[in-house]
Amino acid sequence: MELEQALHAARALVLADLVAGDVAEADVVSLVEDAVAHRRWWVEQWPEGAGFLPGLIAQDVQDALLERHGRWPLCPVCTDSGDPHALEVEPELGPDPHWACTKQAVLVAPVGSLGSALGG
């Protein structure tokens, strides 16, 4: 049951960021569900990694969105650079993941709290 709770919590965090970025369309939510299903097997094999689920699911969704829709989430720090880029999840594999601008080396928001960084 704890693994299911961790999966649902991670799903909720990623969905909150998608809503904040105004990209939570039905096909995008399906990408989240696919990522959760994929990570369910992963966390069943390595239960100690449950704390890593928010960052991993965020990265899975980000990768899937890149293939289908383009970069997400766009960096709110570098809006004047003329070269829009996506935020990255830091740490890539670890607890307490944040969206980070690697060009400016700043943490923008914890995964699940992107709305505060985007003014939402």
* pLDDT digits (tens), the chain, 120 positions: 699 999 999 999 999 999 998 998 999 999 999 999 999 999 999 999 999 999 999 999 999 999 888 899 999 988 776 778 999 999 999 999 999 999 999 999 999 999 988 775
Q: Which two tokens stand for residue 28?
A: 């995008």
The number of folded domains in the chain is 1
Strand ranges, E, within the chain: 88-90, 98-101, 106-110
Q: From CA 75, how far away is CA 106, in angstroms rounded?
A: 11
How many Å apart are CA 82 and CA 80, to the nearest integer?
6
Domain that holds residue 59: 1-117
pLDDT at 1: 67
Q: What angle do CA 56, 6, 110 make, to 5 degrees?
A: 55
d(CA 22, CA 16): 10
